[in-house]
Amino acid sequence: MIVKKKIFRTFTAVLASAIILSGEVVNVCATNTSTKSGTVSSSMTDKQLSSLSMLNYITVLSQEINASSNSKIYLDNAYSDIVNNINPNAVDEDTMAEIKQLLNTIYAYQSIETKRERLEYMYEQNQANAIQKAIPNPLSILNVVQSGDPVKAVVSVVYMAVDAKTSYTSYLSEVDNKYLEDGWALDDEAAGNIHESRKDAFSYMVEMCQKNGLNGNLALNEKSVKDFVSWENNPNTTRRIEYFEQYQKTYQGYGKYWLVLAESYYELGDYEKCIDAIDKYESMHIDIFRKDHDYAKALAIALDAADEVYSSSEYVIHANHYLTEMLNNSEMEDWDIKYLAAQAYMDLYTKTSDEDYLKKAYDLAKQNVNYLIDEQQKKNKEYLADVKKIEEKKTDSKARKKEIKSYNNWLEEERKVELPPIYQPLVVNCELLFGLAGKIELPETEKKKIDKMLHSGDEPLFLVSPLENLYWFNNTSEQKEVDVSFDGKAIEIPAEYLSLGTTIQVSVSDNGSETIYDDWKLSKVERETKGDISSFVASYSSKDIKKQKYTDGMIVKITVTPSAESTYSVSEYKFEAHVNKKLKVIDDVTFTMVK
């Protein structure tokens, strides 16, 4: 999976090197912490800190899983984060053994891989769609007069909840939604095993604390952990801040505490305190992960807060620091973080007139495009190929077999009306890339490079023809005539000119009056030749138009409107009715396309 790690990453990861939390009992260890300044100083050895930090991570993660209603998608997040982002230098052998035990437990109850990939795809589609709605023009930040703040808009996308169904459902088709509901939560047996794993982990933690003589001056008990998770998710920001400020001495050695505070202050518009909380977090020098993903996310709000607090010259200094740290702690697949950084660099250009910032924004857009191409190509291959079902294994549980059966049924239902895929993150970044290319006057060599990057070989980047024709610097291909047919009751359109979310409207003109039919539904997609998109035809039907009576010379206009997130234009096709009257039988009505 191209964007394998980003979606299924635990945004609630523990980033502290200061606390150990219990799963069931009141007892834990923590580093020495200055209660006056809020900064963490430790006399512990590196080995102690590493063990303590990793134990904190696993323990709080278990608590977060429970707080997330035991959703499978949260387990997927946790598993990916543990496997892919733990710094091997930050954990000893005993701790790794415990991590493996928890991983084995989580693995048994993850969603089937293909479902995780589908959910991941939906999540990213929603992210990209949200950006397009908030920033229709990706270069709007360069305008002297602009409505809204592009950086602020992208911040909300970066913070889109990964384990909330609302982050998926706005993109779902009816078939998708039914499948998503099936198997979202863990069954009772799975939830029970996760709970037992927490107890095992706690016993191990107590043993490690005693064996290593870890300092317990700032110990957190089970109640403190539950309270933190509860207040972190409290929707009343004012109350959340009140609680965390009141219990600063309890949580100040816990890295995520400062990030939650920063986010909360930002929500209320207290930008100075937001920046101060980020400063406190930075002073802890947390390094238990290869990349500090939560820190990178938090720097998105720090950027916006700094713009509110500092003068233009001061902001430039802080923004450069934040952007450097943000990019250093992001992965290749973090296209949303890089997109935000590109917007911020364009903002720095408006403040300084330094064209190097435009080039940095362009480079980030190009990196994103180069990375995201693979996912579009993968979706193309899946669409053109036969439906690939999952086969059950003898060792699969009843619940897993049920989920596989549901998934296979969903695949068959989707294929009947499936239109060519458009990977929206790629589209969003192509828009930014080509927009910036016009601002920095690319040399011809770079333009040719981009064309080759996007359109290598004989296969199109986008199976949707109007979209494929958009992103070129030098497109020499000839435009094809669109073979649309209309028989008075149904419409047939080549599938390569359609995509998910396309709507059809038909207007019938008769002696100055006009009748509109907008109840058209996609009934099927016929695939005449396997693997040849040009042979795929989509059929639309309307109940209302069946009552329409046609007269000779009547004009019918068909309007094909892509989804609101599409970057290509509306298409119109006109037909003229020809009526051949017959005695005592129904008139013979035919239609010919007119220009």
> What's the burial of 192, exposed, middle or buried (CB within 10 Å: 0-12/13-18/19+)?
exposed
Both tokens of 296, joined, read: 């990178």
Q: How many helices (H) and strands (E) does the chain have?
A: 22, 9
The whole-number pLDDT of residue 135 equals 77
Q: How far apart are CA 245 and CA 315, in angstroms?
A: 27
Rounded distance, CA 52 to CA 44, Å? 10
Positions of E strands within 284-419: none
Q: Which helix (H) or strand (E) holds 592?
A: strand 588-594
Task: Please choose, from the candidates 335, 333, 238, 340, the residue with its C-alpha nearest in 3D space to the C-alpha of residue 298.
Answer: 340
H/E segment holding residue 184: none
In angstroms, how far is CA 149 from the centroid of its own chain? 21
Cβ-contact 299, 278 below 8 angstroms:
yes
For 394, other C-beta atoms within 10 Å of its C-beta total 5
Single out the residue of 365, 470, 376, 381 nearest to residue 423, CA to CA: 376
Residue type, 124: E
Give residue 349's pLDDT.
95
Mean pLDDT by runs of 10 across the 595 residues of the chain is: 35 28 34 40 56 64 58 68 74 69 67 65 79 79 60 71 46 49 51 55 58 53 76 92 93 85 96 96 81 92 95 96 96 93 95 96 98 96 93 83 85 93 94 94 94 89 94 84 94 96 94 92 96 96 94 95 85 94 74 92
**Would you state the structure tokens that stand for residue 134, as one six-digit string?**
């908030």
Radius of gyration of the chain (CA): 28
Which long-range contacts (C-beta less than 8 Å, at least 24 apart) are formed by 448-453?
448/473, 448/474, 450/366, 453/369, 453/370, 453/373
* Token duo for residue 500: 């998910």
- pTM score, two decimals? 0.80
Q: Return d(Cα 370, Cα 362) in angstroms, integer.
A: 12
Domain range annotation of the chain:
4-270+279-290, 485-594
**Cβ neighbours for 90, distance < 8 A, ≥ 6 positions apart:** 50, 53, 54, 287, 288, 289
In contact, 291 and 85? CB cutoff 8 Å:
yes
